[in-house]
Amino acid sequence: MPSRYDSTFWLQRAHETQALSEQMKDVEARGGMTRLARKYERIALQSAYNEARIAFDSAREALRVSQGAASNEQIASITDTVDTARSEMRAARAAMEVFRRAHILIADADDVVDGKGETTAGA
């Protein structure tokens, strides 16, 4: 049974929180909501990776167990499932890396890291 708090749930929360932040007039509140939306997005990406990893591990174990006991067609089907799960896991990992790179400029609150790795306050 899938968790109520799967990657789709967290991504929806991120979108809702970002939409709320865009409606706020107070700059500090808007900044706080934007940071919360980014955290929800990071949780969604991590959840998506975990879901793909679990699917991959399960499919790989099914392939291992079925060796010698399943027909060639069944083995081929399970192998396709393993390959698909591996691709989804790699895509999820790549999405996490893109997110990390896109947000690495934001160190904490309003502190921004410039291209040289130095922090400048209030940028």
User: Would you state the pLDDT for residue 41?
Assistant: 92
Distance CA 5, CA 44 (A): 9
The helix (run of H) or strand (run of E) holding residue 111 is: strand 111-113
Q: Which residues contact 35 (CB under 8 A, 6 or more apart)?
A: 109
Dihedral angle over CA of 68, 71, 72, 77, nearest 10 = -110
User: Would you state the pLDDT for residue 26?
Assistant: 92
3-state secondary structure of 97: helix
User: Would you state the pLDDT for residue 110?
Assistant: 46
Structural tokens at position 121: 């306050």
3-state secondary structure of 74: helix
Low-confidence residues of the chain, pLDDT below 70? 1-3, 104-123
User: Would you state the pLDDT for residue 3?
Assistant: 65
- 12-47: pLDDT as tens digits: 999 999 999 999 999 999 989 998 999 999 999 999
User: What does the chain come to in residues?
Assistant: 123
Query: What is residue 102's DSSP assignment?
Result: H
Domain boundaries, given as residue ranges, for the chain: 7-120
Q: Which of 67, 91, 90 is nearest to 79 (CA)?
A: 67
